[in-house]
Amino acid sequence: MKYTLRHLEVFLAVAKEQSISKAAEQLSMSQSATSAALQEFEHRYDMQLFDRSAKRLRLNSKGATIRSKAERLMAHAREFDSELKQHEELGHLKVGASLTIANYLAAGYLASYMQQHPMAEVEITAASSPQIIDKVLNFEVDVGLIEAEMHHNDLSQTLWREDNMVAFCRPDHPFAKKNSLNDRDILACHWIVREPGTAHRKTFDEAMHGLLVDLDIRLQLPQNEAIKNAVKAGLGVGCLSELAIADEIEQGTLLALPLKRRPMNRHFYIVTHKHTAPTQAVERWVALCNKDADGHDPEKQDKLSGKH
């Protein structure tokens, strides 16, 4: 290419102002440098873009044609420059997410983030909530999305969004047609739940206060999908976040079982390390997560809670 972006800047400024001196002032250049750049641009392509008189410059027909194309080119160049600067400012973002959040929420947030910041680099690590906490503490991830409140002196923890745990069964389970399960029904179930130490299990155990020692915990599995598959195979009643079973409830392959007077409401949290200054990438990710923290599908929520 025979031209530079500086050539285009000078040409467009002179075309707008129809004056070398005013264009030079706009560009913070000397008049001589502005005049030289314009003449060099014209000479390189052996064309005259302005009609010149003693007192002023007037864009000619050739210059008018070039001007519209130069404006589009400069607009693209500025947009590209903005994206490059944004990428430099944001840097690489490492997000740690609990298994449920990673599987059912993170992709949506990632898509929105990448739409807003196309050149950003984001890495999402999925693990249990306690493992995500360890990764935040060890600086392996910049921000963690977890399913339970976990206190630590080095952690900054903020409330993010609500979630509910849901008991569920196959449509042909003996309790499938009950409006809700009482304590006697709960004790009669063969339960399939997450392993001890996980946020899921913590919420489940707290909800089963007074019954826990007598519960029939048939299986303890480390993956949500494994629990759903075990329930579908007829091995018992499962308990997971409503996010994990929403599609199956909607399709009718699994059925929610409301528990009488044993709510399993909980919250998700955003955690960062107290001793690390938040980057722009972290701040924008957290802002995005908080923007629609209360968003949910009311119809799907009614199905999960047993309303029809």
User: Which amino acid would we find at residue 128?
Assistant: S
The reported pLDDT for the residue numbered 118 is: 83
Q: How far apart are CA 136 and CA 155, in angstroms?
A: 8
What's the distance, CA 169 to chain centroid? Answer: 32
Per-residue pLDDT, averaged over 192-218, amounts to: 95
Q: Where are the alpha helices (DSSP H) in 144-279?
A: 183-188, 199-207, 224-232, 242-251
**Start-end of CATH 1.10.10.10 domains in the chain:** 5-89
For residue 237, the surrounding DSSP H or E stretch is strand 237-241
Per-residue pLDDT, averaged over 116-143, amounts to: 92
The reported pLDDT for the residue numbered 87 is: 57
Which residue, chain included where needed, has tokens 């155990």? 205
Indicate whether 52 pLDDT > 70: yes
pLDDT tens per residue across span 237-281: 999 999 999 999 999 999 999 999 999 999 999 999 999 888 889
Indicate whether 123 pLDDT > 90: yes
pLDDT above 70 covers a percentage of the chain that reads: 92
Confidence band of 303 (pLDDT split at 50, 70, 90):
very low
The reported pLDDT for the residue numbered 79 is: 85
Q: Where are the alpha helices (DSSP H) in the chain?
A: 5-17, 20-27, 31-44, 61-90, 99-104, 106-116, 129-137, 183-188, 199-207, 224-232, 242-251, 280-291, 298-305
Indicate whether 42 pLDDT > 60: yes
The reported pLDDT for the residue numbered 299 is: 39
CATH number listed for the domain at residues 162-266: 3.40.190.10
Rounded to the nearest 5 percent, the helix, strand and coil shares of the chain are: 50, 20, 30
CA angle 35, 37, 40 (to 5 degrees): 105
pLDDT tens per residue across span 92-106: 899 999 999 999 999
The reported pLDDT for the residue numbered 308 is: 35
pLDDT tens per residue across span 61-81: 999 999 999 999 999 998 887
Structure tokens at 108: 């949506």
The reported pLDDT for the residue numbered 302 is: 42
Q: How far apart are CA 56 and CA 61, in angstroms?
A: 16
The reported pLDDT for the residue numbered 117 is: 85
Confidence band of 305 (pLDDT split at 50, 70, 90):
very low
270 Cβ contact list (under 8 Å, min separation 6): 143, 144, 145, 157, 158, 160, 286, 289, 290
Confidence band of 170 (pLDDT split at 50, 70, 90):
very high
Q: Where are the alpha helices (DSSP H) in 138-276?
A: 183-188, 199-207, 224-232, 242-251
The reported pLDDT for the residue numbered 85 is: 67
Indicate whether 204 pLDDT > 90: yes
Nearest CA-CA partner of 247 in 168, 192, 162, 307: 168
Q: Give me the CATH topology for the region 90-161+267-305.
A: D-Maltodextrin-Binding Protein; domain 2 (3.40.190)
Q: How far apart are CA 264 and CA 166, in angstroms?
A: 7
Q: In degrees rounded to 5, what are phi and psi of residue 170?
A: -75, 155
* Residues facing residue 143 across a β-bridge: 95
**Start-end of CATH 3.40.190.10 domains in the chain:** 90-161+267-305, 162-266
CATH number listed for the domain at residues 5-89: 1.10.10.10
Residue 249: count of CB within 10 angstroms of its CB: 17
Q: How far apart are CA 68 and CA 192, in angstroms?
A: 67
Indicate whether 149 pLDDT > 50: yes
pLDDT tens per residue across span 17-34: 989 999 999 999 999 999
Structure tokens at 198: 């996980």
Indicate whether 297 pLDDT > 80: no
Rounded to whole angstroms, what are the CA distances from 110 to 46, 78, 153, 268, 284?
A: 50, 25, 29, 17, 12
Indicate whether 307 pLDDT > 70: no
Confidence band of 145 (pLDDT split at 50, 70, 90):
very high
The reported pLDDT for the residue numbered 81 is: 77
pLDDT above 90 covers a percentage of the chain that reads: 78
Indicate whether 175 pLDDT > 90: yes
